[in-house]
């Protein structure tokens, strides 16, 4: 797979270092509050796996599968619930984990939904933030790295469902998605 990557943007070591820092900050903020940590499938999966191991307080994990991109590269602007939470968010401190915020459409939808369902608080942690892609006003409560408006893959981020299993964040060679 490495030969399909033009450039490694964020190395495995840099990601793991940042994950440790984020875990520490989340521990301080949520200690003793039993947050409901919601991973947005499928992209948040590797981040959630690593990050939750660095959070040193009791928490509950749940998952939501929403999709806005399908197999293409441009957001359709539609958010579809493919799998809802198993748990009620009512009265809970909800912490949403994302791999990337691009247009912000996925998260603005989820934040509204959880407030409507009477969550006590809703916060967002994203590994990557791509502010140039924003279509709605949305600022994450914590973000690992800011990335440029390039097609990035790895560590959960896919192109046509591939590359999620790369341990780093890379930029795909244009010939991969142009062919």
Query: Residue 92 or residue 103: which is nearer to Mn ion going by CB?
Result: 103
Separation of alpha carbons 6 and 162, rounded Å? 15
Phi, psi of 60 (to 5 degrees): -115, 140
Distances from the Cα of 174 to the Cα of 4, 7, 26, 142, 171, angstroms: 9, 11, 37, 30, 9
Which among 20-28, 91-99, 146-154, 157-165 is the span making contact with Mg ion, rule CB under 5 A? Answer: 157-165
Which among 1-9, 13-21, 35-43, 122-130 is the span making contact with Mn ion, rule CB under 5 A? Answer: 35-43
Separation of alpha carbons 100 and 91, rounded Å? 26
Query: Residue 43 or residue 140: which is nearer to Mn ion going by CB?
Result: 43
Q: Which listed residue (10, 64, 89, 105) binds ligand PRP by CB under 6 A?
A: 105
Q: Which listed residue (35, 39, 43, 140) binds Mn ion by CB under 5 A?
A: 43
Kindly calculate the radius of gyration of the chain based on its CA atoms and give it in whole angstroms: 16
> Can you say whether residue 46 is alpha, beta or left, with left for phi > 0 and alpha for psi between -120 and 50 degrees?
alpha
Which among 41-49, 123-131, 137-145, 157-165 is the span making contact with Mn ion, rule CB under 5 A? Answer: 41-49
Q: Which residues are catalytic?
A: 102
32 to 71: interface string for ligand PRP, x by CB under 6 A: --------xxxx-----------------------xxx--
Regarding 69 and contact with Mg ion (CB under 5 A), the answer is yes
Query: Residue 21 or residue 149: which is nearer to ligand PRP going by CB?
Result: 149
DSSP code string of 110-145: HHHHHHHTTBSEEEEEEEEE-GGG-SS----SEEEE
Give the closest residue to 157 by CA, choosing from 130, 118, 119: 130
**Residue nearest to ligand PRP as judged by C-beta position:** 43
Contacts with ligand PRP by CB under 6 A lie at 40-43, 67-69, 75, 98-106, 158
């Amino acid at each position: 797979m490495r030969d399909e990557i033009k450039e490694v943007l964020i190395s495995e070591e840099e990601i793991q270092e940042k994950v440790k820092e984020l875990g520490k900050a989340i521990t301080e903020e949520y200690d003793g509050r039993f947050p409901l940590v919601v991973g947005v499938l499928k992209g948040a999966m590797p981040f959630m796996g690593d990050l939750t191991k660095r959070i040193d307080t009791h928490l509950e994990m749940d998952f939501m599968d929403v999709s806005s991109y399908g197999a293409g590269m441009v957001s359709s602007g539609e958010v579809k619930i493919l799998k809802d939470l198993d748990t009620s968010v009512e009265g809970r401190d909800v912490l949403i984990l994302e791999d990337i915020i691009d247009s912000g459409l996925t998260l603005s939808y989820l934040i509204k939904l959880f407030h409507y369902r009477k969550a006590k608080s809703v916060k967002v942690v994203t590994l990557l933030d791509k502010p140039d892609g924003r279509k709605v006003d949305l600022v994450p409560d914590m973000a690992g790295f800011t990335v440029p408006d390039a097609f990035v893959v790895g560590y959960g981020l896919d192109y046509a469902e591939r590359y999620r299993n790369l341990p780093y964040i890379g930029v795909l060679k244009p010939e991969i998605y142009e062919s």
